[in-house]
Chain A
């Protein structure tokens, strides 16, 4: 099934006729001319009433999602820009507070932690880091990692051990990749190494903690499996990981101009390793051990995520990360 091609018929058939389009165009123009200039609430506020329980969060949410100048300006802010602090302390925490489930919250916490690490790497390479920015990034990273771990624990305790294992592995992969990236961009520069020390503390702690809880989540899954209440679909997980592996191969092809021979050799070796994990996982799945299969698929997924992050960083930062010595 080629989704892009196979769904073309929908675009061709579920469509406005020329007459309908012209009529609505005319009606829209007529209403536009009749519209007085007045404040209009953001459509985003629709979700506000379903989610927000506290007035403070509501106020922040209005600022974040309704288009208030400073908050909107801060959305794309990078380290060193005047609104960067607003993004880290207002926008992101508010979006997390508005997420409805531990799964959504954990996904946002992990995404923002990764964003922080990417921003730190980019600012290091372009020499845009100062002591205040480093402190801000370190504090935000600490908050995001704590939040991610709390929500991942919540997922596990609420019987969603597979989602907990998946989010935990993703976080572990993000941290492992950026530990390598940041060591590389800071190596040999005393100023950069001092800045990195403030961040490394949290990365190292995160790697230790995500590794420590893996057996706990695996035990939860085993317990669920033995009681016949395992909700996770091993086949779905298998399909997801195979697709992510395909994405990695595509990334390699797209990045072929920036990858050298050593990079290709190391990536090929890593892909062989991941493929082996997937084969073992499939044997476990076929043998009836859903937990062991899920664990292996999740480990493979995290490893693929790490390799994708390295390829992306190598392209964006212009440094040799793959196939290089630690």
Chain B
């Protein structure tokens, strides 16, 4: 990405804010901290561009920045247990949409099982299937070889299926 103007960068924010927030959320399991990380990731990216540097893929750069900030944040605040993660993975009751109890239970179970995956597996799974990023872009964001990412995605799906008893 060449030097970018303010308007264009804000459009990048509009397009990617939710995705970067989700990425941080599934690292931290804390909505407020995830919002802070999201804000900081955009700010650091803006500062980086303003310093005259170029970014070939701004979305991959944002993920990379959010990843680093989330890891730092998680190290600083090891405040949640696995049970707490499972709890928050289900979200607040007031946010529950118009779903049947069975569907709601299923959603909570899937989210809880995703929460139990290794962070590295969770990252690739969410980036691939929730955000729809191509393998090449995930590889760029995580600074991994595409083959490594492909294998990790397959393994993550395998683990999730196994944990959900899906053949």
Residues of A participating in the B interface, judged by any CB pair closer than 8 Å: 1, 3-4, 6-7, 9-16, 20-21, 24-25, 27-29, 31-32, 35, 37-40, 42-44, 46-47, 65-67, 69, 72, 75-76, 95, 98, 104, 107-108, 110-111, 170, 236, 239-240, 243
Contacts and interface: CB of A to CB of B under 8 A. Distances in A.
Interface string B114-142: 10000000000110111110000000000
Nearest to B128: A3
Given A3-B129, A38-B51, A40-B53, 17 more contacts: A1-B164, A3-B125, A9-B107, A10-B114, A12-B97, A13-B91, A14-B26, A27-B39, A28-B43, A35-B46, A42-B53, A98-B143, A104-B145, A104-B148, A108-B145, A110-B147, A240-B154
B47 interface: yes
Interface string B51-95: 111111000010011001101100000000000000000010001
Interface of B: 6, 9-10, 13-14, 17-18, 21-22, 25-26, 35, 38-39, 42-44, 46-48, 50-56, 61, 64-65, 68-69, 71-72, 91, 95, 97, 107, 110-111, 114, 125-126, 128-132, 143-148, 151, 154-155, 157-158, 161, 164, 166
B19 to A, nearest CB: 9
B157 A3 contact: yes
Given A37-B51, A44-B64, A46-B68, A21 B17 contact: yes
A127 to B, nearest CB: 28
Contacts of A46: 68, 71-72
DSSP majority for the A interface?
A: helix
A108 to B, nearest CB: 5
A67 B2 CA distance: 12
DSSP majority for the B interface?
A: helix
A94 B61 CA distance: 19
A72 B143 contact: no
5 contacts: A1-B161, A24-B35, A42-B53, A67-B53, A239-B154
A125 B161 CA distance: 44
Contacts of A16: 17-18, 21, 35, 38
A32 B54 contact: no
A10 to B, nearest CB: 5
Nearest to A95: B143
Give 8 nearest A-B pairs by CB, closest first: A67-B53, A46-B68, A43-B65, A3-B129, A111-B145, A40-B47, A107-B145, A7-B129
Contacts of B55: 67
Given A1-B166, A16-B17, A6 B46 contact: no
B106 to A, nearest CB: 9
Contact of B129 (A4, A95, A170): A4
Contacts of A9: 107
Contacts of B43: 28, 31-32, 35
Contacts of A243: 154
